[in-house]
Each structure stands twice: as structure tokens, then as C-alpha cells.
């Protein structure tokens, strides 16, 4: 698996606008159950929704189907990013796996994801690898953390991934944030902001659905 897009985004964040005051997000706009945008790919057969605090961004790789960013309204500081990446069966062995094989491959999937993380974040580590179900389909849920250094700045990040195979394609739905680590836990209100960003990320990930309508 090539799970490097998010780390590249985190690397850019390290030299971009930085949240210096941990003002909690108010009124939970990141959990808006009504005003949501649907993203879908009919050929791939996957979809998810997101509230208006998330905005479409530009994908930089052909394997990336969509990127969305969550930024603070005034400062435009980046709170989190999510993307959908796909790999075909000519590249990915997971793409060729049957649904019944996905959970059995949890160890190799987790190791592959961690190796890719360590290509940019040498100290990346796996926090959790869990066999789960999403919309009635077997998936692997991964949480990783690490740090990336850009010249005079070091950022900590945390990433959350849903990895599976669907319609002969490896699908990786991943979100991550640099609102994490000692830079934020040391700020007043930092723990609350970290928790709100994580809640917003998981709220988006939980909306992933798989299209079972005949093509």
C-alpha cells in the first residue's frame, strides 16, 4: 500500500499556518447531521458525506480520488485532511482479496501501512489495528502516530485509516491531523481541541458506504 499522501500533507502543514491558540470548535459544526455534501464514485462504488466545515481540495496523484480539508474559518489553519486512495489489482495484492480474506490479512495490512508511514516519519508507530465492519463490509481500521521534521519545525500527527478491497480495488479512506501531541496538550483548551478534531474525523470516516447496486 502507498499511504504517503497524508504524510505529505502533514509535511506541508509543518511549514504553513500553525494553530497557536487552542480555541475549541464551537457549536459542533463538524458534526452537522443535515447540511452535508455527498462524494461518490460510481465506478469504484464507494461514497461518503461530510459537513460544510470540510472543503474539497486538489488531489495531486492519479490514485487519489478525492481530498477534503477542514480549516479554521478565520486563520485558515488546517485542522485535518481526508482522502480516498485506490490501487488496482496489478499493484495491490489486497485488491485481489475476497471479503472473507480481508480480516485474515490484518497483520500484513498493518505492517505495510506502518512501513509506508515510516518513509517520512521515521518514528511512526501503530497505535491500533482492528478488524471491523463498515457498512456491512469487512475492513481494517488503523490508527498511527509519528512526527515529521521540516528544517526548524517538528510536527506530530495522528492518522486514521479504513483499508479494504472493493470491486477488485484496494480502497484506503484515510484522515489525519497535526492537532496532536505536546504542542497542543500544553495549551489551555488543547486537550478539548484534540478531542473535537478526532471526533470530527471519525464522524466523516463512519459515513463510508459501499454501492451494492448492480452496475
Which domains, ranges and CATH numbers included, belong to the chain?
5-11+36-210 (3.40.1000.10)
Q: Grid coordinates representing 211? A: 454501492
Taking alpha carbons only, the member of 163, 189, 64, 30 closest to residue 105 is 163
**67-103 confidence digits (pLDDT tens):** 999 998 888 889 999 999 999 999 999 999 999 999 9
Task: Tell me the pLDDT band of 32, cut-offs 50, 70 and 90.
Answer: low
Tell me what pLDDT residue 204 has: 97
Return d(Cα 13, Cα 4) in angstroms, integer: 14
pTM for the full predicted model: 0.85
Nearest by Cα to 128 from 142, 138, 114:
142
pLDDT tens sequence across 126-173: 999 999 999 999 999 999 999 998 888 888 999 999 999 999 999 999
**Torsions phi, psi for 58 (to 5 deg):** -85, 125
* Helices then strands, each counted (H, E), the chain: 5, 10
pLDDT at residue 215 is higher than 60: no
The number of C-alpha atoms within 13 Å of 169 and in the hemisphere containing its C-beta is 17
Pairing of strands 64-71, 125-134: unpaired
Task: Quote the cell numbers at residue 23.
Answer: 480555541
Q: What is the pLDDT of residue 31?
A: 62
Task: List C-alpha distances in Å: 101 to 29, 33, 63.
Answer: 38, 34, 23
Amino acid at each position: 500500500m502507498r499511504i504517503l499522501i497524508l504524510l505529505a500533507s502533514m509535511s506541508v502543514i509543518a511549514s504553513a499556518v500553525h494553530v497557536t491558540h487552542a480555541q475549541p470548535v464551537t457549536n459542533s459544526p463538524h458534526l452537522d447531521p443535515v447540511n452535508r455534501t455527498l462524494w461518490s464514485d460510481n465506478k469504484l462504488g464507494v461514497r461518503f458525506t461530510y459537513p460544510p466545515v470540510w472543503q474539497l481540495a486538489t488531489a495531486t496523484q492519479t490514485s487519489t480520488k478525492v481530498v477534503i480539508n477542514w480549516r479554521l474559518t478565520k486563520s485558515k489553519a488546517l485542522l485535518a485532511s481526508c482522502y480516498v486512495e485506490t490501487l488496482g489489482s496489478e499493484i495491490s495484492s489486497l485488491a485481489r482479496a475476497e471479503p472473507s480474506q480481508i480480516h485474515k490479512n490484518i497483520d500484513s495490512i498493518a505492517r505495510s501501512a506502518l512501513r509506508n508511514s515510516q518513509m517520512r516519519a521515521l518514528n511512526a508507530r501503530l497505535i491500533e489495528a482492528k478488524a471491523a465492519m463498515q457498512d456491512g463490509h469487512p475492513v481494517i481500521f488503523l490508527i498511527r502516530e509519528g512526527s515529521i521534521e521540516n528544517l526548524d519545525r517538528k510536527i506530530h500527527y495522528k492518522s486514521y485509516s479504513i483499508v479494504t478491497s472493493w470491486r477488485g480495488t484496494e480502497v484506503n479512506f484515510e484522515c489525519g491531523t497535526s492537532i496532536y501531541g505536546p504542542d497542543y496538550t500544553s495549551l489551555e483548551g488543547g486537550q478539548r481541541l484534540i478531542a473535537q478534531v478526532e471526533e470530527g474525523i471519525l464522524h466523516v470516516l463512519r459515513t463510508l458506504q459501499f454501492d451494492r447496486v448492480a452496475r
